[in-house]
Amino acid sequence: AGKLYLVPTPIGNLSDMTPRAIETLQKVDLIAAEDTRNTARLLAHFEVSTPQISFHEHNTQMRIPKLLEKLQAGHSIAQVSDAGMPSISDPGKELVAACVQAQIPVIPLPGPNAALTALIASGLAPQPFLFYGFLPPKPKDQVKQLEELNYQKCTMIFYEAPHRIGRTLASMVQVFGAERQVVLCRELTKKYEEFLRGSLGEVQEWAQNETIRGEFVVLVEGNANPPQIQDSGLDLTLPYANQVEA
């Protein structure tokens, strides 16, 4: 069988494309791309002429059998998303799972990723961390998700689009409180790369007064003082605990 290569692409700076990523895109038979027009520009820049097929969130299920068929026939495929690592808040995971199940080798290449790039410069504890990705768009659903994260002790990493950053920060203030430390990373690897560090209250105020452009990673400090689990006075030996679970 052929191999599935997972190829990261730059998140804003073309020089972050690795030589191995270029070689891989050159040598495979087919590139499965989230947006073929977008990837065409990248391929033109690096003089890669491998054919592409579209592979995005709306055609994943339809495409997988076709891609598996090609892999099983001995063709190799590279999967790319618009930016950064495939599968990380991007299409890919279903294809990888299908290959794993069909015993087709999956070869990941290291490379650009917004979450880890932001984390290492944040100044917050780099481990343990929790990568969340995008919160749901509606404030009510955001608050519900954030409440589940409120007692996390680890650094939390979120992705957000510019038109939603204000609302998302407001939900965070509501659940985590205005004092929690946050780092906003904007336009990573690009000309106007910027880090905003402060309390959630400060950063939210900044966001209210700005015309916000660019892409964001939001890192939130873990809860330094999660509440102690209360002694309920019950005998929590295993059989009883199991009953409570059930």
Binding region for ligand SAM (CB under 6 A):
11-12, 81, 83-85, 88-90, 113-115, 159-161, 185, 187-190, 215-217
Shortest distance in whole angstroms from residue 82 CB to ligand SAM? 7
Cα–Cα distance between 26 and 78 in angstroms, integer? 10
End-to-end CA distance of the chain: 45
Nearer to ligand SAM by Cβ, of 84 and 222: the residue is 84
Nearer to ligand SAM by Cβ, of 176 and 216: the residue is 216
Nearer to ligand SAM by Cβ, of 1 and 196: the residue is 196
Shortest distance in whole angstroms from residue 44 CB to ligand SAM? 21
Shortest distance in whole angstroms from residue 235 CB to ligand SAM? 47
Residue 243 has a CB neighbour count (10 Å cut-off) of: 8
Shortest distance in whole angstroms from residue 218 CB to ligand SAM? 8
Instruction: Select the residue whose beta carbon is closest to ligand SAM and give its number.
Output: 84
Shortest distance in whole angstroms from residue 205 CB to ligand SAM? 21
Nearer to ligand SAM by Cβ, of 64 and 157: the residue is 157
Nearer to ligand SAM by Cβ, of 37 and 246: the residue is 37
For 170-174, the CB contacts below 8 A with 24+ separation are 170/139, 170/204, 171/135, 171/139, 171/142, 171/143, 171/146, 172/146, 172/200, 172/204, 172/218, 172/220, 173/200, 173/201, 173/204, 174/143, 174/146
Phi, psi of 216 (to 5 degrees): -125, 145
Cα–Cα distance between 99 and 75 in angstroms, integer? 13
Shortest distance in whole angstroms from residue 119 CB to ligand SAM? 11
Nearer to ligand SAM by Cβ, of 1 and 116: the residue is 116
Q: Which of 109, 92, 110, 89 is nearest to 217 (CA)?
A: 89
Residue 34 burial (CB < 10 Å; 0-12/13-18/19+)? buried
